[in-house]
Amino acid sequence: MITKDFEKDKGITLVALAITIIILLILAGITINAITGDNGLIKNAGNAKEQSEIVNEKEIVEKATVQAMGNNKYGNIEESELQSELDKETDEGKTEVRDMEENFEVIFNESNRYYIVDKDGNVEGAYDIIKDKYPGDITTGKDGEALDGSEEKPYEIWNIEDLVAFSEDVNSGKTYENKYICLMQDLDFLSKTSYNDWKTKEYDVYLGGEGNTEIREQLSSNGKGFKTIGGSTTSFWGNFNGNGKMIKNIYINSIGFFGTIQNATIRNLTIQGDVLSENSAGGIVQVAISSYIYNCCNQITVTRSSCWRNM
């Protein structure tokens, strides 16, 4: 039977050991900060391990890419062939390949990183996949922190679910007057990494479906596409900061990314994709009333049957 005195002596011994180790480190000229600080031994060891993993992953992608191109009589890269070669280099299921039209996305599921392979076989990366614990809730940060929409604590858009929910809010009559919204990372509507769950059907009814279509499919040109933020009866009155980020491969079967903005500010935003409209249409904004739009880049292709304006 263990006595209280033994437990007490054991606790004292552990404390004494810790103190002894600290004293020895100090005598050796090594401070606690040098071990645990931002540039400490532990942090540097972790960084070295991460860099080693990245080098190894990139080598795997490069080798699989060369093999995939060699297997094709035209030297092209096919999604299925690249996936097959990656499975040979790793265990099956550890990587995922997606054809992004202009390039390929290779995801390593265990490390939560991805790489980009262009059509010529060049490999770029590594890029971290950022997970948001609260997709579809822009009032809560990705780790659960409360946001009030002030300039100091703007509402945050981390993924496409957040962007869709924001659009739904505005179209339901929420103006976001005097509130700030910030785009936190690049979003690509073709990329799995831009969704928290690209197979979710939660937003299908709002997007115009019957409740049984995956969000990725519904937002593509095969579905209804992204729903314009604001329109003839609702408008956005807030401050949208693109934060120097880019929204890519968006498809809008309507009048533009923003429909109507009033007393609003849109800044630091780049959008690339397609707008298909039968009415007066825009790229980033269709109608701006007493509003400011600056430092934005519109790479939207607008297609309609009569005259149009592209802002």
Residues 49 and 17 in one domain: no
Instruction: Give tens-digit pLDDT for 40-96.
Output: 555 555 678 889 999 999 999 999 999 999 999 899 999 999 999 999 999 888 999
Residues 91 and 231 in one domain: no
Residues 109 and 248 in one domain: no
What residues have CB less than 8 Å from 172, skipping those under 6 apart? 234
Q: Establish if 139 belongs to a structural domain.
A: no
Q: Where are the alpha helices (DSSP H) in the chain?
A: 4-27, 32-36, 41-71, 79-89, 160-171, 204-207, 215-218
Residues 150 and 145: their CA atoms lie apart, in Å, by 14
Q: Would you state the pLDDT for residue 308?
A: 45
Please state which of the ranges 2-6, 46-50, 145-149, 188-192 shows the lowest mean pLDDT. 2-6
Q: Establish if 256 belongs to a structural domain.
A: yes
Q: Establish if 111 belongs to a structural domain.
A: yes
Residues 24 and 102 in one domain: no
Mean pLDDT in residue range 261-279: 93
Last residue of a domain, one of 110, 128, 146: 128
Among 89, 83, 131, 88, which residue's Cα sits nearest to residue 107?
Answer: 83
Please state which of the ranges 2-6, 43-47, 212-216 shows the lowest mean pLDDT. 2-6
Residues 171 and 264 in one domain: yes
Band the pLDDT of 14: cuts 50, 70, 90: low
Residues 296 and 180 in one domain: yes
Band the pLDDT of 6: cuts 50, 70, 90: very low
More confident residue, 19 or 143: 143
Residues 84 and 88: their CA atoms lie apart, in Å, by 7
Q: Establish if 134 belongs to a structural domain.
A: no
**Structural domains in the chain (count):** 3
235's tokens: 């408008």
Residues 162 and 297 in one domain: yes
Q: Establish if 253 belongs to a structural domain.
A: yes
Residues 55 and 18 in one domain: no
Residues 178 and 261 in one domain: yes
Mean pLDDT in residue range 101-122: 94
Look over the chain and give the mean of its residue pLDDT values, rounded to a whole number.
Answer: 88
Mean pLDDT in residue range 195-223: 95
Residues 159 and 274 in one domain: yes
Band the pLDDT of 278: cuts 50, 70, 90: confident
Q: What is the pTM of this model?
A: 0.79
Band the pLDDT of 304: cuts 50, 70, 90: confident
Residues 167 and 275 in one domain: yes
Residues 201 and 77 in one domain: no
- 1 pLDDT more than 60: no
Mean pLDDT in residue range 262-289: 91
Domain that holds residue 17: 4-30
Q: Establish if 113 belongs to a structural domain.
A: yes
Q: Establish if 133 belongs to a structural domain.
A: no
Q: Establish if 205 belongs to a structural domain.
A: yes
